[in-house]
Structure 1
Amino acid sequence: MFVNNNSITPAVRIGIVRRFIQILVLFGILSAVLLFSSGHTDWLWAWVFIGIYIGSTVFNSIALLKRRPEIIAERSMTQIEHGWEKLIGGLWALLYFLAVPLIAGLDMRYGWSADIPLNVHIVGVICFFAGTGLFSWALLENAFFTTASRIQKERGQTVCMSGPYQYIRHPGYLGAIIQSFAAPMLLGSFWALIPGFLSALLMIVRTKMEDKMLRQELIGYEAYAQRTKYRVFPGIW
C-alpha cells in the first residue's frame, strides 16, 4: 500500500530534503575523485559506475517516497550510539567512497593495471548490478533499514523476516560486500581491489557487531537468528 504524501509531517519533509542533499554531495565527491584522478572526463567505465549508482538511487527514492518516506528521513540522521560503529563506518566510507575511486582513477591515468580484458569490466558490471540490486531489495523490504546501527524504539522497531531476510540476516551488507569487489573490476583496476577488500572486511566486522547488538536489544531477534542461521554468507557464516 502506498503512503499518501499529504500525510508526511514537516519533520519528515525536512529529513527527505537533507538526505537528498547528502546524496548529491556524495555523488559530486565520488564523480570528482574518479574523473580528476584519472584525468579523463570521457572515461566510459567511470560513467557506467556513476550511472548505476544514480539509477539505483533514483529507483530507491521513488519507491520509498511512495511506500515509506520516513525511511529516507531516517537515513539522513547520524545518531551513532556505539563507538565501534563510528570507527568502522568512518573507515569504510573512506575506503569505499574515496580510496577505491582514487586508486582506480590513478590506475587509469598511469596504466598500472594494463590491458584489462573487456570480460573483467563486464563481470564487474554484472556483479555490481547484483550487489546494488540486493542492497535495494533489502532497503525496500525492511521498514527499519537505516544508516545507523541502533534500535528505533521511537518507531516501534520489529524484526524484518520477509524478502531476502528469509535467507540471511543482513542481506543489505552482503550487497555492499559484493559492491566492494565489483567496483574495482567494473573500473578495471586490480590495485583498487586492495581498498575494496579492506572495505569488505570492515563490513563483515560491522555485521558481527550489529548482529550481536540486535540479539541483545531487539525483541524477537534472537528467535529470528535461531531460525535464520546465517548472517551474510548462506551456508558459511
Structure 2
Amino acid sequence: MSTSRSLTARLILRSLIAVIFVAALLFLPAGSLRFWQGWVFMAILFFPMPVTSVYFLKRDPQLVERRLRTKEKTSEQQTIIRGAQWIAFVSLVIPGFDYRFGWSRVPLWLTILSQLFVFTGYLITLWVMKENSFASRTVQIEEGQRVISTGPYGLVRHPMYFGAVLMLFFLTPALGSWWALPGFLLVIPLIVLRLLKEEKMLCRDLPGYSDYCLRTRYRLLPLLW
C-alpha cells in the first residue's frame, strides 16, 4: 500500500510540475491569458490526465513506474533526448511571442484541424501504453519483456514515436504560429536517430524482435517507412 501511495504521489507531483512548466512556456511569452490556442493545447495534454492516471495506476502500475523514469542507460541516448528536449522547450516559447506580436496568420480552420491531429497523436501514445506495459520513457530491455505485435504495433514498429511525430508536425499551426515550425521539425531527425539505435538494440537483445521486423515492415510511417 505504501508503495502504491508513493507511486501516486510521484505521479501527481510530476504532473503538477508539467502543467506549471508548459503553462509558463506558453503564456509568459504571450503576455496574456487570452492565448486561446495555448489553452486548447493545455486541455489536450492535461484534461485526460486524471482519468488516464487512475486507469494506469489500477491496471498497470509497473507501466507508471517505468514512465516516471527519465535517466537513459547510455550516454548516447542521453545526448539525443536532451537535445530533443531543449529544442522542443525553446520552440514552445515561440508561439507565445508570435501571439503577442502577431507574426503569423494561421487560418482558423487550419488551427482547429491541427489541434485535432495533435489530439490524435496524443491518443496514439495512450493506445501504445495500453497495449505495451514495457513502453518506458527510456531505451532499455527488462526481465520478462516480450515482443508486442498487436494493436498499433501491427501497423508500425514504433507507434509511440509515430504519435510524437504527428503531434510535433501539427503543433505549431495548432498554436497559431509558423515561426516555431522549424524548431519542432528539428526534433524529428533526433527521434529517427533514437529509433534506429533503439531498434538495433532490440534486434540484438530482445528474442523474436528480428522476426517481428520481418512481419511488420514499416518503422514509423505507415506505407512509407
Q: 1:141–1:163: 8 Å Cα contact kept in structure 2?
A: yes
Deviations 1:40-94 (A, max 9, x none): 1121110000011002333431321231012112211234112221011111122
Match in the other structure for 1:185: 173
Match in the other structure for 1:4: none
1:107 aligns with 2:95: no
* Displacement of 1:183: 1.2
Instruction: State the distance in 2 between where 1:224 and 1:13 align.
Output: 37
Instruction: State the distance in 2 between where 1:12 and 1:152 align.
Output: 21
The two structures have a TM-score, normalised by structure 1, of 0.90
1:123 equivalent among 99, 113, 117: 113
1:134 aligns with 2:139: no
Alpha carbons of 1:168 and 1:226: their partners in 2 closer, same or farther (altered >3 Å)? same
* Displacement of 1:119: 1.4
In the alignment, residue 100 of structure 1 is paired with which amino acid?
Answer: S
Q: 1:14–1:73: 8 Å Cα contact kept in structure 2?
A: no
Q: 2:71–2:78: 8 Å Cα contact kept in structure 1?
A: no
1:166 aligns with 2:154: yes
What are the equivalent positions in structure 2 for 1:68-79 lying under 5 Å apart? 68-79=60-71
70-79 or 219-228: bigger deviation = 70-79
Cα RMSD, aligned residues only? 1.5
2:78 equivalent among 77, 81, 86: 86
Q: 2:124–2:160: 8 Å Cα contact kept in structure 1?
A: yes
The two structures have a TM-score, normalised by structure 2, of 0.94
* Displacement of 1:137: 0.6
Q: 2:106–2:173: 8 Å Cα contact kept in structure 1?
A: no
Gaps of 5+ in 2: none
* Displacement of 1:10: 3.8
Deviations 1:120-145 (A, max 9, x none): 21121111011111111111110101
Gaps of 5+ in 1: 1-8
Alpha carbons of 1:62 and 1:230: their partners in 2 closer, same or farther (altered >3 Å)? same
Match in the other structure for 2:163: 175
Match in the other structure for 1:157: 145
Instruction: State the distance in 1 between where 2:169 and 2:49 align.
Output: 20
Q: 1:16–1:76: 8 Å Cα contact kept in structure 2?
A: no
Match in the other structure for 1:5: none
2:55 equivalent among 63, 81, 89: 63
* Displacement of 1:165: 0.5
1:30 aligns with 2:18: no
What are the equivalent positions in structure 2 for 1:205-220 lying under 5 Å apart? 205-220=193-208
159-168 or 53-62: bigger deviation = 53-62
Deviations 1:129-181 (A, max 9, x none): 1111111111111010111000012xx11111111001111101000001101
Match in the other structure for 2:222: 234
In the alignment, residue 30 of structure 1 is paired with which amino acid?
Answer: V
In the alignment, residue 18 of structure 2 is paired with which amino acid?
Answer: L
In the alignment, residue 150 of structure 1 is paired with which amino acid?
Answer: Q
1:145 aligns with 2:135: yes
Any idea what SS the aligned residue of 1:75 has?
helix
Give % identity.
32
* Displacement of 1:12: 5.0
In the alignment, residue 22 of structure 2 is paired with which amino acid?
Answer: L
Q: 1:56–1:136: 8 Å Cα contact kept in structure 2?
A: no
In the alignment, residue 96 of structure 2 is paired with which amino acid?
Answer: G
- Give structure 1 regions of 4+ aligned residues with deviation exceeding 3 angstroms: 9-13
